[in-house]
Amino acid sequence: MSDGTTWVGATAKQISRAVRRGDATATQVVADHLEQIAITDPTLDAFRVIRGGEAITEAEKVDDQEDLANLPLAGVPVAVKENTAVAGLPTWNGSAAARTPEVAEDDHEVVRRLRGAGAIVVGTTRMPEMGLWAVTDEGEGVTRNPWDRDRTPGGSSGGAAAAVAAGLVPIAQCNDGLGSIRIPAACCGLVGLKPGRGVVPSDLGITNWYGLVENGVLTTTVSDAVLGFSVLAGRDPIKLVEPSRLRVGVSVKSPLAGVRPDEPNASAVTAASKLLVQAGHDTVVANPPYPQTLGIGTLATWFASAYRESADYQLAQLQPRTRQHIRLGKWALRAGLVRQSQRDAYREAAIRFFADNSLDLLLTPALAGAPPLAEGHAGGSWWRNMSASMRYAPYAGAWNVAGLPAIVVPVGTRPDGLPLGIQLVGPPDSEALLLAVAGQFEVLNPWQRVAY
């Protein structure tokens, strides 16, 4: 809660309630956050664009509304990932090589929904070039983890995660193609929900990665995640119901052969299993299917997504790692390795896994290792970047291919003080259940919400 002198650090739920009641003004709340951004972001580099004057003007318009009762995000400062259209701003997509980015004439639907709920967009957040990497080092700036500025906040929604973990905004919109919400959530100690396919508008044009990308939010609390998800999904605010006794599969098996979680991430799964039992649920060992064709097909789709998008860039100005990704994408398409039928088959297998094992949810590590160092990736080789991304963060991408909802929840800290998280995955339409179980984790094992 605000300490009475600033609203920085308050949750979205606290802010919106205060603004609706008249205990605070949207203008003051936004001004507080803009002041904190000005102090903190020069050493964090979470934001690409800060909408100072525009945000204050929009906050004043919220304050002028006579009836705020139907604005669930009244006066809440939010950040938007820079690959998502915000009217009046260029959509850079993490690259200085973009061909004179056109200023967006209209908001993306998820931005329109946030604003329609009373939220104020204070800026757009940084991401790696084309959103391809699990580290946010995009050449012009290196985004840093508020818990340890030598480390990355993850990617591709690294700027969003850094902004929320530093308390610069309580909610950040972001998107997830192969883990780009959940990986930063785990790196920065946040709640990060990737909705299932078709639940939230996700069309980002050619950047939608053959349907793998979903829009969502990063938050510091489960209640804020519920609020943000409800707004993006166009639903009335979800009321979480205490789940009845669940059967939860537990697996530390990695989709990437030869990769195992390090001791802190393995212990996080053990701790989460105990919390589930404490909450009244049953846990069983259950390893999901990770066929070799999944790995090959996912890599091919990842490469091909970059190739399809490359027409929007000045290729000579792209980073070497990105150009190699594009070359491999061209080859993968010509070789026939990018197949919708293969992705559909994996979705069916993943859904069948839950049914055949009578599972309500699946628990896995969120990461396999510590967040890498923040610097040195943009100018590094393709293989160095591939190896870093895949080896520390292999657990997320399969669930984009399957189109199933998944959430990352904090569960503790590593010996070096960095946050630890776990991933919960569910069958189609289980977003509310995932959030409810995450809420049980929060009650039984509260976490430090921001990195100060």
Query: Which tokens is 364 given?
Result: 């896995």
Of 2, 13, 16, 81, catalytic: 81
Strand 406-413 relative to strand 419-425, pairing: antiparallel
CA 165, 167, 168, 169 torsion-angle sign? positive
Residue 419 Cα distances to 185, 186, 188, 288, angstroms: 9, 7, 6, 26
Buried b or exposed e, range 19-29, using 16+ CB within 10 angstroms: bbeeebbbbbb
448/284 Cα distance (integer angstroms): 29
Of 2, 156, 254, 310, catalytic: 156
The angle at the Cα of 191, spanning 187 to 193, to the nearest 5 degrees, equals 105
Of 95, 157, 180, 430, catalytic: 180
Residue 381 catalytic? Answer: no
Residue 75 Cα distances to 38, 50, 330, 340, angstroms: 19, 17, 46, 42
Q: How many helices (H) and strands (E) does the chain have?
A: 14, 11
Query: Which tokens is 79 given?
Result: 């950040």
End-to-end CA distance of the chain: 14
Angle between helices 52-64 and 26-44 (to 10 degrees): 160
Contact between 391 and 368 (Cβ < 8 Å)? yes
For residue 277, count other CB atoms closer than 10 A to its CB: 12
Q: What is the DSSP letter of 137?
A: B
Residue 194 catalytic? Answer: no
Residue 61 catalytic? Answer: no
169/192 Cα distance (integer angstroms): 15
Element (H, E) at 319: none
Residues taking part in catalysis: 81, 156, 180
